[in-house]
Amino acid sequence: MKLLIDTNVILDYLLARPGFYDDAFRVFSLAAFDETYEFVSSSAVTDIFYHVKKELHDSYAAQNKVRELLRIITVLDVTQTDILKALELHWKDFEDAVQFAVALANHVDVIITRNQNGFENTMIPALSPSDFLASLE
């Protein structure tokens, strides 16, 4: 199964956000134990770095967190075609549109996000970490 992990879930994991870390950790743990492949878009990596650095007030620590992330997740390129597709969607949140376009182009099965509203009525299900984990049981 191919999962695109949205920025908010990755930040929950990397920053150990209370109330969200446990489910994010469990989602990331799936990649180590079964046929689950987890991805992040290249455009999200810069956002992740920015937010981690802002939270930790330390560029070196943020770099280490991104390195930690890249040991367990694969980066998907954002192409010009993806950007054009995102623009065609006319979504209010362009970042979500780009994530969806990348997921579509790479045949992702599920988008894991805490912002399911941003991905309503799409052909790729968008589930919260807890809903996704419950669907596996």
Question: What length does the chain have?
Answer: 137
Indicate whether 36 pLDDT > 90. Answer: no
pLDDT digits (tens, 9 = 90+) for 97-126: 999 999 999 999 999 999 888 887 789 999
Which has the closest alpha carbon to 124: 92, 100, 102?
Answer: 100
Mean pLDDT value across residues 87-93:
94
Q: What is the CATH number of domain 2-136?
A: 3.40.50.1010
pLDDT digits (tens, 9 = 90+) for 37-85: 999 999 999 999 999 999 999 999 999 999 999 999 999 999 999 999 9
Distance, in Å, from the CA atom of 129 to the CA atom of 92, rounded to the nearest integer, reads 23
pLDDT value for 121: 75
Domain spans in the chain, listed from the N-terminal domain onward: 2-136
What residue type is 73 in one-letter code?
I
